[in-house]
Amino acid sequence: MLVHCLKIFDKVEYIFPMRGHSYLSNDQDFSLIEKKKRKLGKAEIPDDWDKRILNSRLHSSPFNLVKVNVSQIYDIKAVTDPFSLKNAKPPVKIKAVRMIRIEKNSP
């Protein structure tokens, strides 16, 4: 539409990772929380989510839940900087990517 009909661009490229592309350490954490969510059903209030997260992994290294207040949400960078790595370790592994290219000269 943007290339052939509206003629806004000469070329549009979509590049996206394939499903299952990441192997980040937090993927397993989200999986544990998701399992707890399925087992216990809907969360009615925010405290229900807190309990689900805290009870998702009890052994080894339990989750540490940090409650934030409204002033911290407005300046998210200040809140997350102490927990952010300057250089990502380990690097993100990409399994595969796909690309769709739409060009003015190719209908």
User: Structural domain boundaries of the chain?
Assistant: 1-23+96-107, 25-91
- Long-range CB contacts for residues 63-68, cutoff 8 Å, separation at least 24: 63/29
Give the residue carrying structure tokens 């934030």.
68
pLDDT at 37: 84
pLDDT at 103: 95
Q: What is the mean pLDDT of residues 47-52?
A: 88
pLDDT at 63: 85
Cα 17 to Cα 46, 54, 99, 100: the distances in Å are: 32, 31, 9, 12
100 pLDDT band, cuts 50/70/90, is: very high
pLDDT at 82: 79
Percent of the chain surpassing pLDDT 90: 14
